Homo-oligomer: A and B are copies of this chain.
Amino acid sequence: MSSNARKDIHNSEVPLLCISCEARHRGICGALTPTELIELSKQTSKHSFEAGRPISADGESIHRYSNILHGVVKLAKLTSDGRQQIVGLQFAPDFLGRPFQARSDYDVEAATEVQVCSFPKDSLDRLTKLNPELEHRLHAQTLKELDEARDWMLALGRKSAAERVASFLFFIAQHIHPEKNETGGGVHFDIPLSRSDMADFLGLTIETVSRQMTKLRQGHVIEIINNRTISVADMAKLKSVSETNIN
């Protein structure tokens, strides 16, 4: 195919910003031809956000899309009286933004320190019309987000507090150590959320999250190094706790 031929360019032609970017291969930019990538990169800019800072707010009109370069982003919904539910967590090299729609339906906030590469909505929307592979990648990410959302619906609707917290830790562990799937290995990692964010993600209160963390520690399922860092000796055990009611 001609697009394959065009991909065979010198590395020096790859925009500087993109050279070490995960999104260039695994993210949506992997769908772009070198020409398209160069074109788009002329309009990109890099932004950083401290943990807790809004990236965009619900109802706000959005003129730019982004790729996450580094960090964890939370998508949240609010009730009119201020209760909050985190409805998605995104990691590099995820795409941020709602295609085909001017407004954002969620609050988008940095959970940790976050770096994104952003570009004008119009540019990508135009490219999407020309390059079907781009929409395919966006669609694939949407399907992944849908699967995750539905997994969490099961947790929110049917799992106990203990199972939810264990499910969350398992989810995070898998994102950080994808290889140790359920091969029973040990894992050591940072939780990218505060207890408050964990509560908002799990549909619980801070206190309940804290109590369940303590129980997991007492049950030797996890070791709490400090508030943010934990160690899991046996992933299979954690997974089992995440699916078993009554202790």
Contacts from A to B (Cβ < 8 Å): 75, 77, 79-81, 83-85, 87-88, 98-100, 105-106, 132, 135-136, 138-140, 142-143, 145-147, 149-154, 156-159, 200, 202-203, 243-245
| A146 engages B142 (CB within 8 Å) | yes
Identical chains bound together, number:
2
| B157 engages A243 (CB within 8 Å) | no
- Most B CB contacts (10 A, CB to CB) among A145, A147, A149 go to A149
Once A149-B153, A153-B77, A153-B153 are accepted as A-B contacts, the answer to whether A100 and B158 lie under 8 Å apart by CB is: no
| A158 engages B85 (CB within 8 Å) | yes
Query: Shortest distance in angstroms between A242's beta carbon and chain B's nearest beta carbon?
Result: 10
| B243 engages A151 (CB within 8 Å) | no
Complex CA gap A2/B157 in Å reads: 49
A201 nearest CB neighbor, chain B only: B157
Residues of chain B within 8 A (CB-CB) of A147 are 105
